[in-house]
A and B are shown apart, each in its own frame.
Chain A
Amino acid sequence: MSLVGRDKTSSMGPLPRQAWLLVLHDLRQELREREIVSTTVFFTLVVLVMFGLSFASLGTALHPLIAPGLLWLCVMFVGSMTLTRIFDREREADTLRALLVAPVERLAIYLAKATVTLLVLLACMALLVPGLVVLFPGASALATNPSTTIALVVLGCLGYVAVGTLFAAGLATGSGKHVLLAVVLYPVTSPVLLFALVATRALLEHHPRVMTYLGQMAAVDVLLLVLGAWLFEPVLVGVGRARVP
């Protein structure tokens, strides 16, 4: 069955509406089962407790140095778990393939999966960030600058999701080799989390360039979203005919 050059006109309306309907579908399924949110939030709690046991006894002066690393490390762990689960669900029911042959823009699938993953990650962050502030009082700037913290967390998670969704979807359409998700996801998402780490440290140290760093993160997010959206279809189904020399 050829997926290339199919009719792009959809019975589901324009792209934003298609994406919205797919998000609603996934959220409805999640509300029924509550599997992804409950497991990832619980995992966040476990990671938080482990971080507390390992590092909370360190002096308050060290907290601004370690809290940014712990925050984004947890995003990496929870993010990979969320992405695995979101695409496993499709894989188990073989619905990703059905979605790919349905009269839906592939970009809408990418945007919908990225949005759902972002929402799950933000739900986990709602527990993680206050938890870090309680365990590490030296990181209290996260609580005293709520608007900057929210912008930071949203931008960091958005960058992670923009990259992660593409690769998790690419692996979900292949056969097996789950171990490769970790091999791919951790290195490829590290650059965007490096930006987030620098911005978080600047926030905790009350650095005057925090807003500049947030601007850089927003620019990187736009670049990653554009790349992710552009590559989603070629990675999932391929384009063109093979050229053998």
Chain B
Amino acid sequence: MTRAPVAPLLFGAALVLLPWSVVRVFLDTPIERQMGTAQKIFYFHLPMAWICMAFAVVCGIAAVVELRRRSVVAGAVAVASAEMVLIAGLGMLISGPIWGHATWGRAWTWDARQVSAALLWLIFASYVLVRRYGAAGSERLAAALAIFGAAEVPVIYYAVKVWKTTHPTTDVVGSLPPSFWAALWPALCALSALSLGLVLVRVRLELLAQQLERQADS
């Protein structure tokens, strides 16, 4: 999986799509009437939030495989995905408050969606810490953490439905006009290609590191 030149292809696609998405977002899309130019953050905030949640689920699934079949590849996928959750999550947690400050007048409102997203980030930060600094056998504990982290994703999704929040509901995405989608797709594809490429490279690095460790032990 990791030997095929998939990662360079993904990086190449991202290299083309990222500048194009910036042009679409800033030059070809109309300025939203109520929020003004601050709304442009949406085109990067939303893909980062989706990437963060998608890799949290991937990490959870890989952790299940790692626990049930003790697969080294699944473990490497889980580690790489968790680190991507941290990166995309950081982007989401930084871009969200900038948008919030421009639209609601406050960067952080302790809204259920914001808090649950921050908690997801903390759970995966905890996962990375346990993987890095835990004693022998702690990868099983880390895998359980990843599974609980993945279970937190539906909480983030439904937070705006079950609790009263200031965050826009999930229905907003479906009601976007075609001109907004035309800018959202390139940004989503560019950031997805970049994140997937990075995860594949990280998986390969992790497998090589483990191989080196095994050789050093034997």
A binding-site residues for B, Cβ under 8 Å: 163, 166-167, 170-171, 173-177, 180, 183-184, 186-188, 190-191, 194, 198, 216, 223, 227, 231, 234-236, 238-245
Contact = CB atoms under 8 A, between A and B. Distances in A.
A234 B147 CA distance: 12
A241 B148 contact: no
Given A166-B144, A170-B140, A223-B151, A245 B123 contact: no
28 contacts: A167-B141, A170-B141, A174-B137, A174-B141, A176-B135, A177-B134, A180-B129, A180-B130, A180-B134, A183-B129, A184-B130, A184-B145, A186-B122, A187-B125, A188-B123, A194-B116, A223-B151, A227-B151, A231-B147, A234-B143, A235-B140, A235-B141, A235-B143, A236-B140, A238-B67, A243-B71, A243-B72, A244-B72
Contacts of A245: 72-73, 207
A242 B119 contact: no
Interface-central residue, A166, A180, A241, by most chain B CB under 10 Å = A180
A170 B119 contact: no
B172 interface: no
Contacts of B136: 174-175
Contacts of A227: 147-148, 151
B112 interface: yes
Top 8 closest pairs, chain A to chain B, by CB: A187-B122, A170-B141, A174-B135, A242-B70, A234-B67, A187-B126, A175-B135, A243-B71
Interface in B66-123: 67-73, 112, 115-116, 119, 122-123
A173 B137 contact: yes
Interface-central residue, B129, B140, B141, B149, by most chain A CB under 10 Å = B141
Interface of A is mostly: helix
Interface residues of B, number: 38
Contacts of A183: 126, 129-130
A180 B144 CA distance: 14
A239 B138 CA distance: 14
B69 A240 contact: yes
B67 A174 contact: no
B162 interface: yes
B46 interface: no
A245 B71 CA distance: 8
A141 to B, nearest CB: 19
A105 B155 CA distance: 32
A68 B133 CA distance: 34
A97 B122 CA distance: 31
B214 interface: yes
A174 B116 contact: no
A167 B116 CA distance: 20
